[in-house]
Chains A and B, each alone.
Chain A
């Protein structure tokens, strides 16, 4: 229990890159594309942010450059997947490998074979003093990096965009029934391109938060599967912002708990499995034909076998 409580504040911090990337993944998922390249976008975002941050010393330039780079990368992938019709999963695997290879290659050229690049640019904290009054957890929540608050604020914003704006409606239509969207006059390709662009921009923030908000450095393959966890959160939450956010926070918390456990020498592997096991469990529970099972138990059993 104490481990859980102590992990709450750090948990919010470790969860924030996953949350930002997962929010980006919502757009492409809603637009009907399985996007496992969140990992690659994040890595490129982290790299560009650190390189620009260490070159200019300006954290805002660093974040802006990361957003531009990742948006371009996402649009490039969109071009291959949408216009040249590559398989999204295949191209996603390739983009992840490309991001890992290219950032490691450039890092080694910049640092003469080094394994990491440090920067003094770091994202400022934002204090919300009224949170400090909450018993038990107040101190842990009161001061967090600015992108943590941005991530949390984006959850209702994205929910609103999807539910209430014409862009959101178009996106959902394209994802759920592309033929219907076409006949309703929606430009499917353009909508999907926009989804990719937004996804890239949010993953850039995720990478910047990881590199500048948490670590102040870039190292080879530093995302270490966080993008895949973000993808798992998107699946877990069925691309609904509040559930995706909840999943991302839980998964990030698991990460923080694992760090605590490692420090005291407990086996962490089962905690590290949590995101993947939970995602599979949710997928399976959602796939069980509950309604049929409950109404017609005898026939439903034969149905489940078929």
Chain B
């Protein structure tokens, strides 16, 4: 049952029902809020739509906002499949972004055909290394990866902020957003739709989605990873090494997050900027959850969230309804989705104890308890 819901190709109807109901309820809540402040919800919805898709410029803005979300959402989903809760997508994305920017502005004079892949690889490497530490701590010591990955986000933010402000400081800058020198043109991601910054990162992201789907669904490694995630005891009995798969899945997850950071550097900022990714990682988590961590659903969910963010700016301009409403709306949708997603068919008054035994990855509080899972 869980499989059918997680893989939309199997049964698109049931897979979409939950998210669609949640989206509907979220929009209803937002409409009530708009009514309460004495504005017209339909007018706001129209402005939101035009802001997201009304002009080529707005449509390109939606796609540009969706692109990094595809990477960060896929990063979270892949880890989740392998029983790892990667709350550190944001930090991995930031480290990947910094490393790719470093490669981008340091190696000058390379041909683009070499420089571009090198920059993307640097991003992936940075993210993978930042994810490797919590994975090793979890597998080697049993240290809860939710906590360590969460903490690593803030270490990444402070570390890159230091690097931009001191060793890599561009003279003559002040203000709240500080940037490194610009990456060389050969590391610039080519635009698919000039002059907008819808870059080749978008098809690259979709390619990653398809590869992730194929590997998870159709390959032996993917089968083993899903087994470690969904039935750890069975996996262990069947001789699948859980530790190696958990480290591997986290490194792939971190690499995807780092690619997202590189895509932002090469496609949007053309430099590393601090603060870099206010919420890109966490919004990616929300995108993944919206489609139940199913890779093939992620591009659609990313465009949906990108459209909301892009539309919010248009809505604020034309109706003077604050763009922050969309953040509240997104959060409400996720709350509805997560309530449905994890509740299954059980009813609220059934005991927690029985449910807990069904959710080992959520229940564990004492790190040492997780050693043998």
Binding site for B on A (CB under 8 A): 29, 32, 34, 36, 80, 82-91, 93-98, 100-102, 104-105, 108-109, 113, 175, 178-179, 181-182, 188-189, 192, 220, 225, 228, 232, 235, 267, 269-270, 272-273, 275-277, 279-280, 283-284, 286-289, 304-306
Which of chain B's residues have a CB closer than 8 A to the CB of A284? Answer: 137, 141, 143
Binding site for A on B (CB under 8 A): 33, 37, 85, 87, 137, 140-144, 146-148, 150-152, 154-155, 158-159, 161-162, 165-166, 243, 279, 282, 285-286, 289, 320, 322, 324-332, 334-335, 338-344, 346, 348-349, 351-353, 355-357, 359, 362-363, 365, 367-368
Decide: A98 and B325 in contact? CB cutoff 8 A: no
Decide: B330 and A286 in contact? CB cutoff 8 A: no
Q: Which residue of B lies closest to A181 (CB)?
A: B353
Q: Which residue of A lies closest to B329 (CB)?
A: A101
Decide: A86 and B327 in contact? CB cutoff 8 A: no
How many angstroms from the CA of A104 to the CA of B326 in the assembled complex?
A: 11
Knowing A97-B282, A182-B351 touch, does A89 contact B320 (C-beta < 8 A)?
Answer: no
How many angstroms from the CA of A265 to the CA of B123 in the assembled complex?
A: 31
Sorted nearest first, the 4 A-B pairs with minimum C-beta distance are: A101-B327, A101-B328, A98-B331, A269-B162
Decide: B334 and A90 in contact? CB cutoff 8 A: yes
Knowing A276-B155, A283-B144 touch, does A87 contact B362 (C-beta < 8 A)?
Answer: yes
Decide: B325 and A87 in contact? CB cutoff 8 A: no
Q: Which residue of B lies closest to A32 (CB)?
A: B365
Q: How many A-B residue pairs have CB under 8 A?
A: 178
Decide: B335 and A95 in contact? CB cutoff 8 A: yes
Decide: A94 and B158 in contact? CB cutoff 8 A: no
Decide: B355 and A273 in contact? CB cutoff 8 A: no
How many angstroms from the CA of A36 to the CA of B87 in the assembled complex?
A: 11
Decide: B331 and A267 in contact? CB cutoff 8 A: no
Decide: B342 and A87 in contact? CB cutoff 8 A: yes
Decide: B324 and A108 in contact? CB cutoff 8 A: yes
Decide: B151 and A93 in contact? CB cutoff 8 A: no
Decide: A267 and B325 in contact? CB cutoff 8 A: no
Q: Which residue of B lies closest to A36 (CB)?
A: B150
How many angstroms from the CA of A232 to the CA of B147 in the assembled complex?
A: 8
Knowing A86-B342, A101-B327, A270-B158 touch, does A94 contact B140 (C-beta < 8 A)?
Answer: no
Besides A94-B286, A181-B353, 18 new A-B residue pairs in contact (Cβ under 8 A), listed by A number:
A86-B343, A90-B334, A91-B338, A98-B335, A108-B324, A179-B353, A272-B158, A276-B151, A279-B151, A280-B152, A283-B137, A286-B367, A287-B137, A287-B142, A287-B143, A304-B140, A304-B141, A306-B243
Decide: B335 and A86 in contact? CB cutoff 8 A: yes
